[in-house]
Structure 1
């Protein structure tokens, strides 16, 4: 079936599906797939997004610009869908505006490419995988109100592990994972949902609930604005200096570290200080929003208080920049243009008496030639001839002109620095190369001294990871999962069942040089399960009289 005929088929035979409250784009496409009755996910993906099933993304999609072209324009425009029906908005507030604009262009296209890496998700320590989550109480209400359970957007944001409405722990889907149903459309069902960890009852519920509310509020902010990174860092610094907190940052984040998503968070005072320095200094790379929210929770308790402090810092910085005596780069007038003769300029003439003395005095003070020409109604040739006849004044004029140019270029470089304090020397130099080049040739010592005052990227100390402890913890989780599975069934234990009960197992096994004890146990139990199946088949054959 062609894409065109598929579009006509959707319009002609199937009912129009509209958004349900707080629904994600993936959820609506999954409902559309169900209504269309397609057995192959690719058929729906091609009809809706114009892409194959390999591009089915449940968190940050791609190809959404094709929705309007494929007959689904009534769902809204691409940017509206992106901001209100995907988790993308939560990554906007602390990102550079240029990166956000580039990301939106990428998402509208047909490939995600390295988007998650560019947003800082891969290297964040939290991972770039965002498994689908659902609240069992919300599912029950959805079936009663709408006839079907669906994926809620507020449940899908990274860091939201508890339903803010029912204060119930969210369950994780085994679909749309790298190890199960990766390229499928799916809706929440009891069969595909599992608890996030067997120790959920031991978690500190208020800490996770507070984080969930802050994440959701941040996503709302991301739909309307982004924050200046330099001002955010200045707001953090001011709050840290004020002090007055009853608990340390390490104590504040300790309850969260019980869940494997937050295992990369600091575990001692030294790593906590490094974590804080990464945020209170103006960042030069993308930082995961969860890191910002954890620091905000410690410094301000909630996002609303942080925004008030941020607005106050914006007002203070604007006032400081406004009071800086500097000229904008585009206001600079080059000397060559200033000295260029204009139409109907006065012809050279002899200067005598008081006019000559006034002109020499003003030239010695460094007043530009063009300004004197207009003021005294004389030509540039007259001034040049006078300067040649008075070498002392000529030397003073050259010195004054050089001092003026030096002050102007310094002021312009300082203005750029105040305008973009988050940029390094190279990035600021690329903004207006001519200013940097002039200062490098004529005032290198001052330029090098100024570079030392630039904000440098925070150095995050990498502490050694206790891989043996991680291996031991993973092995314990695998053993528990294996015993639970074998206690419920007599058949073989599969890797999919283990992945479902230990969601972090898939990502851990990607590193082939780590977790030797866990790998050995997996190899043993999976081989044992296969051998048991083979033995049962042989025994069954003997009992039936087959040789």
Structure 2
């Protein structure tokens, strides 16, 4: 009440509320509201992958106190990873803090979703059992005040540790991006696709090679699925790769950042390698290497934007690109990209791209052909075609528009032909026959799809068919509760509480609203809570 002006708002450790009131009452000792949010909460982890307007609305709600459904708006609730971010700590750090300062404290880089390794001590983090499952929800804890549990119920071997280190470094990199940075979704999808092609997980045309991709993704998701709160990845490890393959496509909705980080962990050697590839795809050089090598990334600030404008203006006035680059202290390639982004035409001194080859490549790109196809056609590398897209004014926009038109035509044609072949069936039948066409049309051309459905397809009959096997879910969950209850009774030596079961079986809490469909689970919970040691 004294810190936030409210008995409960502000007590959340991950996404608090009433931050403006907190800053006012603490007289700004920890900095402004923006500094508090950026350096003492998990909010920066979720914003770079959202639109700027979404980020502004979220920050306003956090500062004022009207959180409402902010976790739903940020895509956290529907992610499958759960909305609770448990407090985590490195036991070595807890001990060192106690010796150095007399009291232990929470470390921000340990709290990011997906961070399960202390990069300083190379130790697996443990998660706290307070402030989750309604236990001590509004309490204030230091690490020495709380009980901890192991991140994994099974031993973590060397290969799993390597995956956890990479994922943790990526989580720290995302959480530490500068304030106001937002990924461009189109460029992000292109970055993933280009890397997939380079690794042979997709064909040069961008078509997913499903078997290879599933095998590679399983090698990452299988060890991660053993961790607390990441059990949902067990399905991915068994071959359900759809949630990740869709990341190669530009989407209106944004998945949980953890899915992006797992994808980055799979495709790239490090967070720095990913940001470098993103910068190359973006063609705007926003990232620079972080010399501290802590897994963070920094972006060029306003002064670099002014510098790019200055270079473009110098070239427009007749200065050579080489001289303009030397004056600005950047490479010639960067000066070319900056000039092209400003729409400045450049004189060419071709080495690989002769006028004939260049014209052929530009014409092919304007028709929407993939970079790999164009590279093979004119006999140059994909990197050369990428640089051509970045350095030719207006070419990237024309290429993206042509690719969109080609994809739209292909999807509409496939969908229409299937409808004719099956004599205007129901949409569900067509979805089974043409899943790729439906997915593309639903995300990118929904108005046409809806109109086609109304005018051409049969209406589905009402049905009460259930898509979830509740009996099987009930059987599996009740068995898990019985096993964990026996273990808890032996270790705790007291009567169990509901929060004990929720901590041991994380999926239990999420299914409370469906408990009437789970009679075996309801009976197992009742039996566990009534048992006396």
The answer to whether the superposition gives a TM-score over 0.5 is yes
**Residue 236 of structure 1: aligned partner:** 192
Give distance in 2, aligned partners of 1:108 and 1:71.
14
- Select 1:61's aligned residue among 16, 35, 52: 16
Do the aligned residues in 2 keep the contact of 1:161 with 1:212 (CA within 8 Å)?
yes
**Residue 236 of structure 2: aligned partner:** 267
- Select 1:525's aligned residue among 513, 521, 528: 528
How many residue pairs align between the two structures? 362
Alignment of 1:28-39 (within 5 A): none
Deviations 1:263-320 (A, max 9, x none): 3335378631x22342111110122111111111222232211111111111189888
Deviations 1:104-152 (A, max 9, x none): 1111111211111111111112121111111211111111111111211
Consecutive unaligned residues of structure 1, counting only runs of 5 or more, are 1-45, 326-410, 426-450, 533-547
Give distance in 1, aligned partners of 2:485 and 2:442.
58
Using the TM superposition, give the Cα deviation of residue 66 of structure 1 relative to its aligned residue in structure 2, in angstroms.
Answer: 1.5
The answer to whether residue 478 in structure 2 is matched with residue 497 in structure 1 is no
**Residue 199 of structure 1: aligned partner:** 154
Give distance in 1, aligned partners of 2:510 and 2:442.
42
Consecutive unaligned residues of structure 2, counting only runs of 5 or more, are 202-211, 285-336, 346-393, 409-439, 450-465
Alignment of 1:383-394 (within 5 A): none
TM-score normalised by length of structure 2: 0.60
**Residue 285 of structure 1: aligned partner:** 253
Using the TM superposition, give the Cα deviation of residue 262 of structure 1 relative to its aligned residue in structure 2, in angstroms.
Answer: 2.7
CA 121–222 in structure 1, closer or farther in 2 if over 3 Å, else same? farther
**Residue 130 of structure 2: aligned partner:** 175
Do the aligned residues in 2 keep the contact of 1:55 with 1:62 (CA within 8 Å)?
yes
Give distance in 2, aligned partners of 1:324 and 1:476.
68
The answer to whether residue 485 in structure 2 is matched with residue 485 in structure 1 is no
Give distance in 1, aligned partners of 2:110 and 2:496.
31
Using the TM superposition, give the Cα deviation of residue 464 of structure 1 relative to its aligned residue in structure 2, in angstroms.
Answer: 6.0
Do the aligned residues in 2 keep the contact of 1:281 with 1:455 (CA within 8 Å)?
no
**Residue 109 of structure 2: aligned partner:** 154
User: Secondary structure of 1:172's match?
Assistant: strand
Do the aligned residues in 1 keep the contact of 2:495 with 2:530 (CA within 8 Å)?
no
User: Secondary structure of 1:234's match?
Assistant: helix
User: Secondary structure of 2:149's match?
Assistant: strand
The answer to whether residue 474 in structure 2 is matched with residue 506 in structure 1 is no
CA 260–489 in structure 1, closer or farther in 2 if over 3 Å, else same? closer
- Select 2:33's aligned residue among 78, 101, 109: 78
Do the aligned residues in 1 keep the contact of 2:229 with 2:506 (CA within 8 Å)?
no
**Residue 226 of structure 1: aligned partner:** 182
Using the TM superposition, give the Cα deviation of residue 495 of structure 1 relative to its aligned residue in structure 2, in angstroms.
Answer: 2.2
CA 503–250 in structure 1, closer or farther in 2 if over 3 Å, else same? closer
Alignment of 1:218-367 (within 5 A): 218-223=174-179, 225-244=181-200, 248-259=216-227, 261-265=229-233, 266-267=235-236, 271-272=240-241, 274-315=242-283
**Residue 357 of structure 1: aligned partner:** none
Give distance in 1, aligned partners of 2:511 and 2:499.
15
Give distance in 2, aligned partners of 1:120 and 1:501.
25
Give distance in 1, aligned partners of 2:69 and 2:40.
21
TM-score normalised by length of structure 1: 0.59
The answer to whether residue 169 in structure 2 is matched with residue 213 in structure 1 is yes
CA 160–65 in structure 1, closer or farther in 2 if over 3 Å, else same? same
CA 455–501 in structure 1, closer or farther in 2 if over 3 Å, else same? closer
Asked which structure has the greater RCO (Cα within 8 Å, sep 6+), the reply is: 1
RMSD of aligned Cα (Å): 3.6
Do the aligned residues in 2 keep the contact of 1:118 with 1:286 (CA within 8 Å)?
no
Deviations 1:226-246 (A, max 9, x none): 211111112112222333468
The answer to whether residue 44 in structure 2 is matched with residue 89 in structure 1 is yes
